[in-house]
Amino acid sequence: MNGWMSLELARKGIEFVKGLDEFAGLSRKWLVKIEDEPTSPEYGTPPWERPIEQHIRMGVIALDKPPGPTSHEVVAWIKRMFGLSKAGHGGTLDPKVTGVLPVALEEATKIIGLVVHTGKEYVCVMQLHSPVPERELRKAVQMFIGEIYQRPPLRSSVKRSLRTKKIYDIELLEYTGQYALMRVECEAGTYMRKLCHDIGLVLGVGAHMRELRRTRSGPFRESRGLVRLQELSEALYRWRTEGKDDWLRKYILPAEYAVSHLAKIIIRDTAVDAIAHGADLAVPGIVMLHEGIKPGDMVALFTLKGELVAIGVAKMSSEEIMKARRGIAVRMRRVIMKPGIYPRAWKRKEQAKEQGGETKPGKKE
């Protein structure tokens, strides 16, 4: 392959990663450290070109959970449906609750925990035990925006200790005098049932949650489309009987979408295998990065083809990385890519000593 083709592939990979920003609703500027860095077509596979079996094993589903089954039961059905050994979800929903339930398949389960702790959005029907003027309801609702105290309800599966949670916004969409339809943006782990109960206490009339639907979990939003279990089953049947995988590719997203809400860094081909072996990311291996990264931020590392390599914690800010010529920029937290997919471009410490050097994983020969 010539240089033009490898550069074109890198451009497509970069566009894919930028598309992840759009999917998550991010509008961060990109900083370029190395201009026109090519990638070899001989190594790795762009996420949109993975064979269907690999696409499934490295996939995530934005599922529309139906009322009735538990989140665990839904995941177990999907795991059995596809014949997988592992699957996991991105945040429990009670049996009666519907809406966004991100489900990670096989290898993507390594990163689904990053979705569990992201912000959530719900549409909730609250029933007041006695009517109150709408003005009083709006005033009471506004009191709960910000940091609040919550003790998990009796039916919860966690320890019932007092905790603080953040409510980012509550919008009263409709009110009939007894039923209130609200949209709530909140921190992960916030109990809507308890929120409704507490609003009722403040109003002095009592209230309880009547219905609940989750409309966002991290980067996954109802507005971007959800998949029903029936649709997933039909797509799987179509592939197994007719050999057509177009529906499966539509319903199952590449695992990279599960980290689309994180700050991102794109790295050189020569840095990939060292990181796959657990090395930290050094400054010379960085091609592009998001503006505004601060030390301590969680960041996702991508190849020039758009493949997720690892999740790490930034040790430098974006500005420091752009100015630096060497040094550790990111400490690895979780490696996703398996070793050996990209060529080795580093020496083991023992080999380096034999040659009179002190080269460590992550440093090019």
pLDDT digits (tens, 9 = 90+) for 171-184: 999 999 899 999 99
**64 carries an active-site annotation:** no
Which is higher by pLDDT, 196 or 153? 196
What would the pLDDT profile of 96-124 be if each residue is shown by its tens digit?
A: 999 999 999 999 999 999 998 899 999 99
C-alpha–C-alpha distance, residues 77 and 85, integer Å: 12
Say whether 14 sits in a helix, a strand or coil: helix
For 49-116+221-255, the fitting CATH number among 3.20.20.70, 3.40.1790.10, 3.30.2350.10, 3.40.50.300 is 3.30.2350.10
Asked if residue 63 lies in contact with residue 87, where contact means CB atoms within 8 angstroms, the answer is no
Q: Which pTM was predicted?
A: 0.90
Residue 307 has pLDDT above 50, yes or no: yes
Q: Which of 276, 254, 281, 278 is nearest to 265 (CA)?
A: 281
pLDDT at site 156: 64
229-242 and 71-82 are packed helices; what angle lies between their axes, rounded to 10 degrees? 0
pLDDT class for 347, splitting at 50, 70, 90?
low
Asked if residue 208 lies in contact with residue 88, where contact means CB atoms within 8 angstroms, the answer is no
Q: Is 114 exposed, middle or buried (0-12, 13-18, 19+ CB in 10 A)?
A: buried
3-state secondary structure 286-315: EEEEECCCCCCCEEEEECCCCCEEEEEEEC
Tokens for 298, please give them. 């969680």
Asked if residue 285 lies in contact with residue 337, where contact means CB atoms within 8 angstroms, the answer is no
Q: In the predicted model, what is the mean pLDDT of residues 32-60?
A: 95
Fold entry, domain 120-217: Alpha-Beta Plaits (3.30.70)
Residue spans per domain, the chain:
3-44+262-354, 49-116+221-255, 120-217
**Structural class in CATH, domain 3-44+262-354:** mainly beta
Candidates 64, 94, 245, 269; catalytic one:
94
Place of tokens 């009110």: 175
Element housing 150 (H / E): strand 146-150
What would the pLDDT profile of 184-228 be if each residue is shown by its tens digit?
A: 999 999 999 999 999 999 999 999 999 999 999 999 999 999 999
